[in-house]
Chains A and B, each alone.
Chain A
Amino acid sequence: MPYIFLLPNLLFFGLFVFVPIAINFVYSITGGPALFPSDRPYVGAGQYTYLFECGSYVDPSTCREDHFWRGVYNTLFFTFFQVATMVGLSLLTAIVLNMKIRGRGFFRAVYFFPVLLSPVVVALIWKWILQRDGLLNAAITGLGSDRILFLAEPGWAMFWAIFVSVWAHMGFYTLILLAGLQAIPSDIYEAAEMDATPRWRVFWRLTLPLLWPNLIVVVVLSLIRAVQTFDEVFVLTGGGPGTSTLMVVQYIYETAFSNQVQNFGLAAAASLVLGIVLFALTLAQLAFTQRKSS
């Protein structure tokens, strides 16, 4: 009887997750433009060697598949700064919201609501502010500066991609950290207050160590998400200017679906590489959560 209840769900998992994993591997060792694996000639590790053929790995322009490597470097850069900013700000916000604050529910809602907005909506909201005649340019010209084409200059475009992404998602991590802070028994704090321990000392010696497990989870979770960044950045900048905000997932999507020649094999090989990174990160997360619960 339990098997009948399990069946529909596992059928979906099989059809849309496990079978695809196997086929993905088949795609990555075959070539040609055909969609059906039986029509695709075997190429061995050809897709992988093509993907990894570089004069120098430090310089994407020396690679055969320079877009992939641009994507890798952009994603690494994005991930590092986005995760660092996001974890820092979420922690700060969670601590502030955990103070004896009036209207806590309201403020929590304020930080949280962008989490529910769709990536397209988030990107369009900011595109409207950042455009040539937008609110931000009105503000900086009002202060006497020249207009800046925020999404047309590589450095600025990357900055805003990170900013917008943090804006949209920090509420989620704030919520997890806030739950962690609220789980810390309050009598610990009362004892510290009795001893007149300074607040910064309470933070370093009590709050931070007790929050550490949650913090690790937040770091790994945001790493997993950041490595897969696609939608907001894609709608905001389209990967541009040039390839300066092109991410790995956008490379995969374009290679398989939107380029003139659909290269399923190369896209599959690139997604397997990404998959290995995600697998390692997820194992790390499971290890940490296991340790937390035991």
Chain B
Amino acid sequence: MNLSRLVTARRNPKGWHWTDVAAYAYLLLGVVLMFGPVLWLVLSSFKTQASLLEFPPSLLPLSQKEVTVPGYPQPLLLFKVTMEDGTTRELAQIRRVGVQAQMINPADPSQQFRVAIDKRTPVREFSLATKNYTEPLERFAFPRFLANSVIVTVVATLITLLINSMAAYALSIYEFKGKNAAMLMVIGTLMIPITIILVPVYLVVTKLGLVNSLWAVILPGAATPTGVFLLRQYMLTLPRDLIEAARMDKASEWQIYWRIVMPLTLPALAVLTIFSIMWRWNEFLWPLAVLTKTEVYTLQIGLNAFQGELQTQWQYLLAMTVMTLTPVAVVFVFLQRFITTGIANTGMK
């Protein structure tokens, strides 16, 4: 197919309206504004500490080239030097004394020069400082935080799926006394975010002896009104005959729930799973209030603590930020459709 025709093809056969042009301009600006900052974070996270301190910053992760010269045990930094006769050549620096640098020709180590430091510029090459990623894994409690976040996310999501689906099953399949009251309770909890009951939930958690354990983060948010609504809405659409038939066959209520209704509810359960993973992985205020010991910090709390302590060590902070957002990015890339339709259908997140 002709490339120019592909590029200029439009859905609107009547030609370009100015609003079409404006729309594409707006969307392209959006791509820069929304993607740009994240791209910049990722690029920066691969820079060495020295190049992070540069101003203005370089776009790509660059680091100064080094050469090994016979007779010198350490690799030497490579510079481009403007010589007195106006020519330029690449020299390695042996040492620097004040405003003078002692340089050597790496190709011919017998040639040594004294050069004013403002006559040389570093020779740089593209390189990824992967130790920004490996060192936090060894030096800081980062792996502990990662493990805590994974535990919290997995356990909390499993509990949420179980108890929310049970409640949704009761509220969709049965008619019983107090059903409306139960529905009202679910709606009621929707109105009471953790921000307004921080202190008393802290008391409850203390009474249960859970302070500074991961259960303190897992349990309080395990029953979600959003989840009950989402699953109930879906279960209401299931054919009733199926359940009646199972009852005829003398299946127990638990079997009907577990063997028949749950498998049929899988699409809604998938949406709730994704939501729950996002909620738990990103949760901040409550863990911040209830977790005071480093051993039980989740990633978000750990990252927040690091940003206070590591003000001058952005290279680690940036790499840890990238590692924290990676799981979410992976979930998004593969499950984008589920997430967006889930939100569009429920109006919740």
Chain A residues in contact with chain B, CB under 8 A?
A: 1-3, 5-6, 8-10, 12-13, 15-24, 27, 35-37, 92-93, 96-97, 99-102, 107-121, 124-129, 133-135, 137-138, 141-142, 167, 172, 175-176, 178-179, 199, 217, 221, 228, 230-231, 235, 249, 252-253, 256-257, 264, 267-268, 271-272, 274-275, 278-279, 282, 286
CA distance A120 to B149 in the complex (A): 14
Q: Knowing A12-B219, A275-B192 touch, does A138 contact B57 (C-beta < 8 A)? A: yes
A199 touches B19 (CB 8 A): yes
A116 touches B339 (CB 8 A): yes
B321 touches A256 (CB 8 A): no
B198 touches A252 (CB 8 A): yes
Distance between B256 CB and nearest chain A CB, rounded to angstroms: 10
Residue of B nearest to A180 (CB): B344
CA distance A135 to B288 in the complex (A): 30
Contacts of A228 in B (CB 8 A): 193, 195
Within 8 A of A (CB), among B279-316: 281-282, 284-285, 288-289, 300, 303-304, 307, 314
- Asked if B223 CB lies within 8 Å of chain A CBs, one says yes
- Centre residue among B54, B185, B188, B321 by max chain A CB count within 10 A: B321
Contacts of B44 in A (CB 8 A): 128
Pick 11 A–B contacts, CB within 8 A, sort by A. A2-B170, A6-B170, A18-B185, A125-B40, A128-B40, A135-B40, A199-B19, A228-B195, A230-B284, A257-B288, A257-B289
Residue of A nearest to B167 (CB): A9
Contacts of A1 in B (CB 8 A): 174, 253
Residue of A nearest to B174 (CB): A2
Q: Knowing A5-B257, A23-B203, A129-B40 touch, does A101 contact B27 (C-beta < 8 A)? A: yes
CA distance A256 to B220 in the complex (A): 18
CA distance A282 to B301 in the complex (A): 30
A120 touches B223 (CB 8 A): no
A24 touches B197 (CB 8 A): yes
Within 8 A of A (CB), among B211-227: 219-223
B304 touches A6 (CB 8 A): no
Contact of A101 among B23, B55, B169, B219 (CB under 8 A): B23
Contacts of A21 in B (CB 8 A): 192, 197, 200
Distance between A213 CB and nearest chain B CB, rounded to angstroms: 11
- Asked if B11 CB lies within 8 Å of chain A CBs, one says yes
Contact of A13 among B53, B185, B195, B343 (CB under 8 A): B185
Contacts of A13 in B (CB 8 A): 185-186, 189, 223
A113 touches B34 (CB 8 A): yes
B285 touches A175 (CB 8 A): no
Residue of A nearest to B346 (CB): A176
Contacts of B57 in A (CB 8 A): 133-135, 138
- Centre residue among B162, B228, B303 by max chain A CB count within 10 A: B303
CB-based closest 4 A-B pairs: A12-B223, A20-B200, A118-B282, A9-B167
Within 8 A of A (CB), among B297-349: 300, 303-304, 307, 314, 317-318, 321, 324-325, 328-329, 331-332, 336, 339-340, 343-345, 347, 349
